[in-house]
Amino acid sequence: AQSVTQPDIHITVSEGASLELRCNYSYGATPYLFWYVQSPGQGLQLLLKYFSGDTLVQGIKGFEAEFKRSQSSFNLRKPSVHWSDAAEYFCAVFSDSSYKLIFGSGTRLLVRP
């Protein structure tokens, strides 16, 4: 069965520091992968997505993610974090056999001034 693991429940970084959020997936075929962000009290906003091609994907708000098939990972990165990036981040994989988007449990990002 498809699954997504986000091993870090919370991450705290200082403003201006770099960020990497981890995501590992379990999926038999070529995965369709997504990163969403949820600000407090808000719905989910798509940051970026990967389907095929270049394994380094650029998203909105300066985020990028790299797909590594050998490691079954799709980690999210940002070179310099802003205070407004404090939010919860969800990795997800799409199952094209069942039309379902399966989410990880999320990583809450805290930004120190």
Partner 1 sequence: NAGVTQTPKFQVLKTGQSMTLQCAQDMNHEYMSWYRQDPGMGLRLIHYSVGAGITDQGEVPNGYNVSRSTTEDFPLRLLSAAPSQTSVYFCASSYNFQAAQETQYFGPGTRLLVL
Contact status: 45 vs partner 1 (CB under 8 A):
yes
What is the x/- site pattern for partner 1, positions 1-40, by CB under 8 A? ---x-x--x----------------------x---x----
Contact status: 75 vs partner 1 (CB under 8 A):
no
Q: What is the token pair recorded at 16?
A: 């201006």
Residue 23's SS3 state is coil
Neighbouring C-beta atoms of residue 64, cutoff 10 Å: 16
Q: How far is the CB of 43 from partner 1 (least distance, A)?
A: 4
- Report the DSSP beta bridge partners of residue 108: 10, 88
Indicate the DSSP class of residue 28. S
Residues that bind partner 1 in the complex, under the rule CB under 8 A: 4, 6, 9, 32, 36, 42-46, 49, 51, 90, 94, 96, 99-106
